[in-house]
Amino acid sequence: MPIAVSDRRWYCRVSEDLHRQVISIAPQLERRGDEGMIQGLYAAATGMMAVEARQSVIANNIANASTPGFRRQDGLQKGFYMILRDAERSPAALNARTAPGGGVRLLETFTDVSGGAVVNTGDPFHVALDGPGFIVVDTPYGERFTRNGKLSIDIEGHLATLSGHKVQNVGGGYIDVRGGLVEIDQEGVVKVDGLPTGQIRIVEFENPHVLSRQGHDLYAAAEAAAERATPAATTRVAPKSLETSNVQLPVEMIQMIMGLRAYAANQKVINAFEDTISRLIERVGSPL
């Protein structure tokens, strides 16, 4: 379950209050040698933000568990020390404030490219891809790629996705599926009443991680990567079938529970800092 709205409001309020308080007493904390307190505060705060960002990724996985061909995502978390070390390229350039424990952020999300199970549906417009390939479709934003083989016929009589994106034909143009019984074979060849009308264009990428997610079942590739896409050599079509998502609900739920516990732990740390800083503020005027 996502972070509750009440928790988010609490976090925003506490963050703003603590920020003002820390700024007001930071010089005295440094003179007292307590700058580590500020570092610990920000470490806990960034931990909460990183957890919340990853919870959103997990929630999206759960929401799309029943989407054909959906590939789950996960988040890569990295400590500020490692981020700055990589940026500076010199550990000597880092000071004590960027030492391990100085905070964390969700650096990026990545897609798990492992395949899902193939389930027979008996629908002639359903295809599952057995292999690393992607179906090429046209959208208002250009060429896109999908693993969702839940196809249909659009208002113009062409083979298309349920969202209305036309499936590209290997020979160019689109595939006409009007007028009779539709069949799709293991090579992606489409036949109407036994006569070939086209072949689904399926491509493969040497590195599928170059693809960026566009919505829940479409992917986009940079122009250079799209040009390097090759016709499917190892991908076969499973007719009258669909590929399920590769989301494992028990795993996602465990990850979400672990995230909630981490969020709560960081929340307790911030509460402790709030109490400590409040006491320090009361002593600001006292002799050092």
Per-residue pLDDT reduced to its tens digit, 153-162: 999 999 999 9
Determine if the pTM surpasses 0.85: no
pLDDT of residue 48: 84
pLDDT of residue 275: 81
Residue 241's Cβ-count burial label (10 Å; 0-12, 13-18, 19+) is: buried
| CA 33 – CA 62 distance, rounded (Å) | 46
Q: pLDDT for 93-117, tens place per residue? A: 445 444 555 667 666 788 888 889 9
pLDDT of residue 171: 87
pLDDT of residue 10: 41
Q: Which of 106-115, 220-229, 233-242 has the highest mean pLDDT?
A: 233-242
Length reported for the chain: 288
**Is the confidence at residue 58, as pLDDT, over 60?**
yes
